[in-house]
Amino acid sequence: MQLRVLTLNIWGVHYIAKFINRRIEALIEHLKHSDTNYDIVGLQEVWSKRDYIYLRDQLKTIYPHSYYFLSGLVGSGCCIFSKYPIIGTYEHRYSLNGFPHKIQHGDWFCGKLIGLCKILVNGYIVNVYNTHLHANYHHVIPEDIYLGHRICQAYELIQFIESTSGADTTDFTILLGDLNLTNDDLGFKLIEGILQLNDAFYKRINKNVFDPTVGNSGRTCDLLDNPYVKPHPYQGEGERIDYILYRARNDNMKCIEAYPTLHKVPNSSNGLHYSDHLAVYGLFEIDETIPRKQTKPLDNMEIADEKTRNNLRAACIIVEESIQRLQRDRIFFGLGVFILVLILFSFNGNLNSHGYLLTIATVLKDILCLIGISISIWFIVLGKPAERNALSSIRNAMNIRLRVPHFIH
């Protein structure tokens, strides 16, 4: 039995992304084409529910089963289309997802999550997970201030998959999506090492099969020849951050082909591209003759190799550094409140004895000070403590896995 899987970040940010409607139409035309025969399609950054409904209605004859993961203010952006029945869904919204005052990045307003669709494929239960982790904005911020958040998201992803893909209820596990992690990043090493997932691109058997319009490097984002990518000093030649990862309960699943695809839209007169990312395609072969293995008891499950344990220890250090940064942030906002209060009650004078413009300037100063004080108090009392609790919770969970009896709060 063969299973064909596709994942694509469609860059569906309305009013910012270019040619959204035309690119969605091109994607629909591709998915409907007789030469394409995907069984499961996972999409990210479908931020508009109207876009999802349009995709669903246009593709329902080919993919009668689909699901959109609703979350947050503007949604999760993640959805799954399947030729096979979806028999169950579950989702977990990440507890950390950026900062509300970083409006230009926007991640905090999105309900980023890991979503699960349990799909029944010819009698096999396939857990398909779709996710989109926090961006690192390395092209804007050389120092990655979101590293701690992305590490925590990666660990929550690990916990969620562990909790929902038990060997007695799941035959195959497939994780797809935009992880915003290269395969050298610590978060990816944790996902791959702890969950024992296989990277389809590296584990593929036919390594010489690839999309000739893309090449065989595996890179999926920040490509130099993509017109939707803004050049930046840290760009390089692109990076691989979109994945299909998999594992099989009985080691009876092999990846035959896997490669990036869907770059330029064919026969487009104006150089239309499907997205600022490339899609990733995977062809899997399932051997139905291999008997089922006996499951391993959960109480004996530990991290087998020292390399993964060291990676987890390194992740603990990063999370701890993020917690210490929070303490500095609270001090900073506290000093901000003190300074703003001084300014609020200074330079006022007698408004009746001054001119019209000075009165307006004084009122405007007071309003801005009150706004700054309110925002700073919110961060001190609510925002930063909530972030600290989320970071500490993940750090404590990591300590449990490392068998370190240490509680952080």
Q: 301 in a domain, yes or no?
A: no
Model pLDDT, residue 22:
94
Decide if 277 is catalytic. Answer: yes
Q: 300 in a domain, yes or no?
A: no
Q: 275 in a domain, yes or no?
A: yes
Model pLDDT, residue 14:
84
Q: 328 in a domain, yes or no?
A: yes
Model pLDDT, residue 299:
46
Q: 376 in a domain, yes or no?
A: yes
Q: 352 in a domain, yes or no?
A: yes
Residues contacting residue 52 through CB under 8 Å, at least 6 positions apart: 46, 68, 79
Domain carrying residue 365 = 306-403
Residue from 138, 130, 136 nearest 45 by CA: 130
Report pTM: 0.82
Identify whether residues 272 and 362 lie together within a single domain: no
CATH for 235: 3.60.10.10
Identify whether residues 117 and 87 lie together within a single domain: yes
Tens digit of pLDDT at every position of the chain (409 positions): 999 999 999 998 888 888 999 999 999 999 998 888 999 999 999 988 899 999 999 999 999 999 998 877 777 899 999 999 999 989 888 887 766 666 655 666 677 889 999 999 998 999 999 999 987 776 545 577 778 888 889 999 999 999 998 767 889 999 999 999 989 888 999 999 999 999 999 999 999 999 999 989 999 998 888 888 876 666 678 889 999 999 998 888 999 999 999 999 998 878 899 999 999 999 999 988 877 665 554 444 456 678 888 888 888 888 888 888 878 888 888 898 898 888 888 877 665 556 677 778 888 888 888 998 998 888 888 777 777 777 787 777 777 777 766 555 4
Q: Which of 105, 277, 354, 409 is catalytic?
A: 277
Structural domain count, the chain: 2
| DSSP per position, 87-123 | EEEEEEE-S----TT-TTT-GGGB--EEEEEEEEETT
C-alpha 152/C-alpha 323 separation (Å) is 12
Identify whether residues 123 and 267 lie together within a single domain: yes
Query: Torsions phi, psi of 105, nearest 5?
Result: -90, -40
Model pLDDT, residue 298:
45
